[in-house]
Amino acid sequence: MQKIYDLIIVGGGPGGIASAVEASIFKMEKILMIEKGDNHSQTIRQYYKDSKRVDKDWKGQTVDMIGNVDFFDGTKESTLEYFETLLDGDGIETCFNTEVDRVNKEGEVFSVVTPQGEFLAKNVIVSIGRMGKPNKPSYKIPRTIKAVVNFNPYECRGNEKILVVGGGDSAVEYACQLTTINSVTLSYRRDSFNKINDINQEMIERYDQEERLRVRYGIDIESIENAEGRVKVNYNSGFSTIYDRVIYALGGTTPVDFLQKSNIDIDEKDRPIFDENYKTSVDGLYMAGDIIYDNGGSIAMAINHAYDALQDMRRE
């Protein structure tokens, strides 16, 4: 007989890890966390710059921790280390390098479908975030410059003229951090940053005033093109500038395909429908973390969702 887990968690980011820990504390015996990357927390590993400051109250959203998993300010490295220790909890099995295609309910049991085979569970939490598909601009990115048009700062080599596009905390943090070894411009289509937290607001003002970078507000990009391997950016002002590299920090997209294939009801804006405990239209199937937001949540919020979902599962 195939093993039936009490809980399978899809996605090994903060929401998934907290779900596993809460399940372990609630004495669920068979817990499996399935992650498509080769280790947990792929969003943190791939999109946070090394030594990045990690704010608990990200984007100025103050969050009181409600469950058994705490969270606090730190750095990329201390946060990853903290999550690593959390996964030592009793009875938590992990399965890396495994991408879940969909979750089907057959009778009372869920079948979690992956290319390597199916796993069975009584309950499932989907915590796959939104960074699997970073948002792209509406205009075309020419194939020939794909290597120098990126969605995170990892390819930067130093001594480059870089354009960062976006108006959120990630864009501001990428831009400021890159100034140490590059010449950076930050371009945002609105007239001011209104979605960023106080620390980043202060930082971008200071960097701007000290002329450590250039901030271009209220300007949009109409297209980009190949300029002998560099990126020619055509602004809606009618002017163009050539950069060595462009980095888009525009957030991520809801994984609609996954939700549809898993028969999870979505609304007219493709958002998953769930109740106050993050239970979806499918009984026993919950969500946690960024996947439930239009425009980004936070680590602390993802951790709290996990607690609410597990409390509800225990009551059922």
- State the residues that interact with ligand FAD by CB under 6 A: 10-16, 34-37, 41-44, 47-48, 54-55, 58, 99-100, 127-129, 131-132, 170, 289-290, 297-300, 302
Please give the Cα distance from 306 to 67 (Å, whole number).
Answer: 8
CB of 134 to ligand FAD, least distance (A): 8
CB of 99 to ligand FAD, least distance (A): 4
Is residue 273 within 8 A of residue 259, CB to CB? The reply is no
Please give the Cα distance from 145 to 150 (Å, whole number).
Answer: 10
> Which one, 133 or 232, has the nearer CB to ligand FAD?
133
CB of 48 to ligand FAD, least distance (A): 5
CB of 71 to ligand FAD, least distance (A): 8
CB of 84 to ligand FAD, least distance (A): 13
> Which one, 47 or 243, has the nearer CB to ligand FAD?
47
Is residue 175 within 8 A of residue 202, CB to CB? The reply is no
* Beta bridge mates, 95: 34
> Which one, 130 or 234, has the nearer CB to ligand FAD?
130
CB of 183 to ligand FAD, least distance (A): 21
Q: Residue 105 corresponds to which tokens in the numbers above?
A: 């309910």
CB of 227 to ligand FAD, least distance (A): 28
- Shortest CA distance to 9 belongs to which of 316, 315, 261, 302? 302
Cβ neighbours of 268 (radius 10 Å): 5
CB of 129 to ligand FAD, least distance (A): 2
